[in-house]
Amino acid sequence: MKIAMIGQKGMPAIHGGVEKHVHDLSTRLVEFGHEITVYSRKWYTQSEDTKFKGVNIKHLPSIHTKHLDAITHTFLATLHAIKNKYDVIHYHGVGPALLAWLPRLFAHRSLVIVTFHSIDRYHQKWNFFAKAILHLGEWAACRFPHQTITVSQSLKKYCLNKYLKETNYIPNGVNLPSQIEADNKIKEFGLNKNQYLVMISRLVPHKGAHVLIQAFTNIKKQSADNEQIKNLKLAIVGGSAYTNNYIKALHKLAGQTNDIIFTDFQSGETLKQLYSHALAMIHPSFNEGLSIAVLEAMAYSRPTLVSNIAEHRELISNNKFIFRKNDVQDLEKKILNFLEMPDREKKNAAQQNKQTIKQFYLWEKIVPQIEEIYQDKKEEIYQDKKTEKIIATKIA
């Protein structure tokens, strides 16, 4: 099948959960024999390449501002996709879903799919008007496409309760990484194996980096004589998403200690080493779809401490590794408890994380589920068109 991916910033994925999702899904679908086109924004990919691992990359312009970037690029990508008569047009995110009506109206033979990745209007970076538009995007994601995919059980329940829409739950996937022994990249940041905690995320308020930084700073102040804590560092891996003022505030907050390192966005070998050698990954987010960063940390067999939102509880059930969201004191307590755990308990938690990934979240299990939706829904469209033609012939 000819399949178009619309809504992501681009490919290859540099940063961003949706981008990572589309990147891995697209390369896997190519291996399954499909022809995939991923619409990309030049400012994101910084490349003129038109192919990546068998995937077609189509660069189109956008109005590169906080509020217009995604919708303008989605509009142009949609027009191009309609013109090129794809078998499947797959939108990613509730914002891009606003335009899913266009192929329903003008590309009758195309199957239209939307993946509902997260409730974006809860993200604090948006103003009132943008949140209202994203709210409308949720409705569109549940009404315009032939089929809606949700990446977590909580999102599936949300769509059913709020929009009376039965969706297909298919979670985000990850690849099982190989063991990384090299540590040269982390040493460039002044980090040593098993002597740092890591957070990997876009630096936007709802991800909760400020909560983690404050908790870590408090621990440093209160336990200055503890040798393990004295040598412990915190790596904040991520950068701005139109949130420069927030990042300035994070740096100011982190100024209370010299042991917090901001690495900006990382990828490739550097990111692999940051995952592989962390003592633990911490994800203090207030709102998620299903965090790929958490899934990847689990795949790397890292102990993972997460906030108590429903999406995290789908992944981790051990309450020793769950803290109340937006609660500095509870996060402090859970970090200290983790540091005091016997090594055997930490190792068991890490192994359980990896086992969870193997059982439920590997791409090799997930891609066939998405491909099945493509094939089944495409067959439904074909049969519907065939029936319409027969009826029209009889009437004539």
Q: What are the residue boundaries of the structural domains of the chain, listed by start? A: 2-173+363-395, 184-360
Q: Where is 42: in which H helix or E strand?
A: helix 42-45
Number of helices (H) and strands (E) in the chain: give both, helices first.
16, 14
Which alpha helices (H) appear in 200-342, and where do they start and end?
209-222, 227-231, 244-254, 268-276, 292-299, 310-313, 328-340
Interatomic CA distance for residues 90 and 95, integer angstroms: 13
Does the pLDDT value for residue 381 go beyond 90?
A: no
Does the pLDDT value for residue 349 go beyond 80?
A: yes
> Per residue in 12-66, pLDDT tens?
998 889 999 999 999 999 999 999 999 999 899 888 889 999 999 999 999 988 8
Interatomic CA distance for residues 184 and 287, integer angstroms: 34
> Per residue in 266-322, pLDDT tens?
999 999 999 999 999 999 999 998 999 999 999 999 999 999 999 999 999 999 999
The percent of residues in the chain predicted with pLDDT above 90, rounded, is: 82
Query: 184-360: same fold as 2-173+363-395?
Result: yes
Q: Would residue 226 be called left, alpha or beta, if left means φ above 0 and alpha means ψ between -120 and 50 degrees?
A: beta
Position of tokens 């791409």?
Answer: 363
Phi, psi of 29 (to 5 degrees): -65, -35
Task: Write down the pLDDT at residue 249.
Answer: 96
More confident site: 131 or 395? 131
Confidence grade of residue 396 (pLDDT, cut at 50, 70, 90): low
Please report, to the nearest 10 degrees, the dihedral formed by the alpha carbons of residues 247, 253, 255, 260 taken in order: -70
Tokens representing 112 are 């239209």
Interatomic CA distance for residues 248 and 140, integer angstroms: 36
The percent of residues in the chain predicted with pLDDT above 70, rounded, is: 95
Task: Write down the pLDDT at residue 387.
Answer: 61
Does the pLDDT value for residue 389 go beyond 60?
A: no
Interatomic CA distance for residues 367 and 378, integer angstroms: 16
Q: Across the chain, what does the average pLDDT equal?
A: 93
Q: Is the dihedral of CA 312, 135, 205, 68 positive or negative?
A: positive
Is residue 90 helix, strand or coil?
Answer: strand
Give whole-number Cα distances, 343 to 32, 171, 279, 291, 350, in Å.
Answer: 42, 31, 11, 26, 11
Percentages of the chain per state (helix, strand, coil), in multiples of 5 = 50, 15, 35
Give whole-number Cα distances, 174 to 52, 268, 297, in Å.
Answer: 19, 15, 10
b/e 318-327 (16+ beta carbons within 10 angstroms → b): eeebbbebeb
**Domain 184-360: CATH architecture, name and number where available:** 3-Layer(aba) Sandwich (3.40)
Model's pTM, two decimal places?
A: 0.90
Task: Write down the pLDDT at residue 141.
Answer: 97
2-173+363-395 adopts what CATH topology? Rossmann fold (3.40.50)
Position of tokens 């000819």?
Answer: 2
Give whole-number Cα distances, 195 to 88, 183, 268, 296, 352, in Å.
Answer: 47, 12, 21, 19, 22
